Amino acid sequence: MIKFINANKWFNSHHVLKNINLEITKGEVVVICGPSGAGKSTLLRTINKLEPIDDGEIIVDDIYLSDPKTNLTALRAEVGMVFQHFNLYPHKTALRNITLAPRKVRGLNKKQARERAAKLLERVGLSHRQNALPSQLSGGEQQRVAIARSLAMEPKVILFDEPTSALDPELINDVLDVMISLAKEGMTMVVVTHEIGFAQKVADRVVFMDAGEILEVGSPPDIFVNPKHQRTREFMSKVFHIPIFNENKEED
Ligand code: ADP
Ligand code: MG
């Protein structure tokens, strides 16, 4: 579904992605973690070409992103993105935030788009908030609208960039529950997060990045409990405090 081949990126002289090789298959849930400035957001943003790479190749669903003729609208319709700060249109209702892109890009008529949006709002537990503006919603509700908006395009993969890190702690679980249900339904997901519970429940693999490099990739216990690199170990003990891993991924 997604393949990085020796991908490199610089911001001026700063080498922010160093020889990235990573393949993500259909239906996989991959969690990316690592310290601030490691290049996690940049890596995620290269997948829908919000950031172009300077060297190497990224292939997304058979689209070669180095090709200057890449249809970015088509690419971004297949690759949804959910941001830390939700990025909803502030003057549009929850429903309108969701109907907009499917009407413009997918060619749905008003009725079809509204029906799809209403179903998705129900799915994220917000049927009763259809006509609310983002400012009238809590952060957790806004993020669930943002996830519904992304789903409305019926993407093949969804990228999440620290989707719960701007939320009050008591609002995080409602968002994670939506993400967990998506993962269990087989959505391909690439998630930058330090929510270890989420990773333990649904991540197929965890990628640890530092200073533009992928230092190691493994199962959640591989990375959280028995990391190979000293740098990963240091990071895990700082971030998670809990050295014990005792919950296996649920098998359906
Ligand atoms: P992370 O998400 O892991 O915190 P980022 O991908 O945001 O890391 O950033 C990686 C590095 O690239 C950081 O050193 C950051 O300052 C730098 N960087 C990110 N975006 C830009 C940009 N648009 N211009 C210049 N430097 C950037
Ligand atoms: Mg980031």
| Reduced 3-state DSSP string for the chain | CEEEEEEEEEECCEEEEEEEEEEECCCCEEEEECCCCCCHHHHHHHHCCCCCCCEEEEEECCEECCCCCCCHHHHHHHEEEECCCCCCCCCCCHHHHHHHHHHHCCCCCHHHHHHHHHHHHHHCCCHHHCCCCHHHCCHHHHHHHHHHHHHCCCCCEEEEECCCCCCCHHHHHHHHHHHHHHHHCCCEEEEECCCHHHHHHHCCEEEEEECCEEEEEECHHHHHCCCCCHHHHHHHHHHHCCCCCCCCCCCC
Ligand 1 atom closest to residue 35's alpha carbon, by position in its atom list = 3
Atom 5 of ligand 1, residue of closest alpha carbon: 39
- The residue to mutate among 42, 165, 194, having the most atoms of ligand 1 within 8 angstroms of its beta carbon, is 42
Distance, CA 16 to ligand 1 centroid (Å)? 7
Residue 239: the pLDDT is 83
Distance, CA 83 to ligand 2 centroid (Å)? 10
How far apart are alpha carbons 164 and 175 in whole angstroms? 7
Residue 159: the pLDDT is 98
Residue 241: the pLDDT is 65
Atom 7 of ligand 1, residue of closest alpha carbon: 41
How far apart are alpha carbons 176 and 182 in whole angstroms? 10
Indicate which ligand has the atom closest to the C-alpha of 17: 1
Atom 13 of ligand 1, residue of closest alpha carbon: 37
Of 2, 12, 32, 11, the C-alpha closest to 191 is: 32
Distance, CA 198 to ligand 2 centroid (Å)? 18
Query: What is the residue type of 211?
Result: A
Distance, CA 39 to ligand 1 centroid (Å)? 6
Residue 237: the pLDDT is 87
CA atoms within 13 A on the CB side of 193: 30
User: What pTM did the predictor assign?
Assistant: 0.94
Indicate which ligand has the atom closest to the C-alpha of 162: 2
How far apart are alpha carbons 102 and 132 in whole angstroms? 20
Indicate which ligand has the atom closest to the C-alpha of 214: 1
How far apart are alpha carbons 150 and 145 in whole angstroms? 9
Structure tokens at 163: 């989707």
In the block, residue with structure tokens 């060297």: 55
Distance, CA 10 to ligand 1 centroid (Å)? 10
Residues of the chain with pLDDT under 50: 244, 246-252
Indicate which ligand has the atom closest to the C-alpha of 207: 1
Ligand 1 atom closest to residue 161's alpha carbon, by position in its atom list = 2
- The residue to mutate among 33, 41, 210, having the most atoms of ligand 1 within 8 angstroms of its beta carbon, is 41
In the block, residue with structure tokens 């959505």: 187
